[in-house]
């Protein structure tokens, strides 16, 4: 797959995740964020594993649970804790620092050189997201900010390990995503049953919302996302993650009738400019696929 197409397909993941807030507030029963997270991960992950009939082997059992814990099992509870203690805009603004976290971790773990222009793009992107989502009445809560930072750090570490470990050469991207979603869902299962339980009623709208989160926002998005992480320079998907809060804000204006200001427009321009510049800056050849990584061929890159 050529690089522009790979970037575009990877960008579909944060674009899909940007719909989560609207789907949750408009369709899902309130007070059950962990249950929504469970249905977003476990059913789709198990279906992917059953359809492809591939289980992890050897060290990939431990790796799958480690990645599933970071990308799904730890991230979702921390995200919802931050959402409970912070205004949504503040939580999204904190999440905007993820490209900086990924940049630093990439240098430490993957030995990827930090380019000044890439660092500048990450800073500008975070600032742009802050302008979009943080209103003048926003207030800060220490534990909420720490939860949000820990959440984006968990996914940042997950991104780095996903890139470092790659995936087995005979395993397709759907199977790989299914392993992580299943592992993360299994870790969320006891937490959900203990803290929340099952909603008393699930209507047709809620069922549609859960289906969207599990398919488009779950297995499809994570399949594209993990494939992009493995083949692109680490800063590229890190900056693409900024699309999620931008989409959430845009949908809030178009669908929920939320107010849109000039400051937000400036923030969107800055964030989009930063993530676009980041893709142009990070233009070394696609990562060579060595041991433990699937070569990009018609056989292994096709959806199983």
pLDDT, tens digit, for every residue of 15-66? 998 888 788 878 988 888 889 889 999 999 999 999 999 999 999 999 999 9
Average of per-residue pLDDT across 232-256: 81
Domain enclosing residue 232, as ranges: 3-281
Average of per-residue pLDDT across 250-270: 78
Residue of 137, 138, 132 whose CA lies nearest to 253: 132
> Residue 31 falls within a domain, yes or no?
yes
How crowded is residue 58: how many other Cβ atoms within 10 Å of its Cβ? 8
> Residue 61 falls within a domain, yes or no?
yes
> Residue 251 falls within a domain, yes or no?
yes
Q: Bigger pLDDT: 188 or 282?
A: 188
> Residue 115 falls within a domain, yes or no?
yes
Provide the 3-class DSSP secondary structure of residue 235. Answer: helix
Band of residue 89 on the pLDDT scale cut at 50, 70, 90: low
> Residue 210 falls within a domain, yes or no?
yes
Q: Bigger pLDDT: 226 or 235?
A: 226
> Residue 135 falls within a domain, yes or no?
yes
pLDDT above 90: residue 238: no
pLDDT value of position 249: 75
Q: Which residue has the tokens 């926003």?
A: 138
What's the total number of domains in the chain? 1
């Amino acid at each position: 797959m050529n690089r522009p197409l790979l970037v575009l397909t990877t960008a579909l993941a944060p674009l899909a995740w940007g719909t989560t807030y609207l789907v949750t507030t408009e369709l899902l029963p309130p007070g059950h964020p962990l249950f929504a997270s469970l249905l977003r991960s476990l059913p789709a992950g198990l279906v992917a594993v059953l359809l492809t009939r591939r289980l992890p082997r050897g060290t990939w059992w431990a790796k799958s649970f480690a990645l599933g814990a970071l990308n799904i099992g730890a991230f979702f509870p921390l995200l919802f804790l931050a959402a409970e203690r912070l205004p949504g805009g503040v939580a999204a603004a904190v999440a905007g620092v993820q490209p900086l976290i990924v940049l630093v971790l990439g240098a430490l773990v993957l030995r990827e050189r930090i380019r000044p222009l890439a660092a500048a793009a990450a800073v500008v992107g975070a600032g742009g997201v802050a302008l979009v989502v943080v209103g003048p009445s926003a207030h800060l809560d220490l534990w909420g900010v720490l939860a949000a930072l820990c959440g984006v750090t968990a996914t940042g570490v997950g991104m780095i390990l996903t890139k470092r470990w790659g995936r087995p050469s005979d395993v397709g991207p759907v199977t790989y995503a299914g392993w992580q979603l299943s592992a993360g869902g299994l870790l969320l299962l006891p937490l959900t049953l203990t803290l929340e339980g099952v909603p008393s009623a699930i209507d047709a709208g809620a069922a549609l919302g859960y289906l969207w989160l599990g398919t488009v926002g779950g297995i499809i998005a994570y399949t594209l996302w993990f494939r992009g992480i493995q083949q692109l320079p680490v800063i590229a998907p890190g900056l693409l993650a900024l699309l999620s809060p931008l989409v959430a804000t845009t949908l809030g204006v178009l669908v929920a009738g939320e107010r849109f200001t000039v400051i937000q427009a400036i923030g969107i321009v800055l964030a989009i400019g930063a993530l676009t510049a980041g893709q142009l800056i990070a233009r070394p050849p696609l990562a060579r696929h060595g041991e433990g990584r699937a070569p990009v061929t018609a056989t292994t890159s096709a959806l199983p």
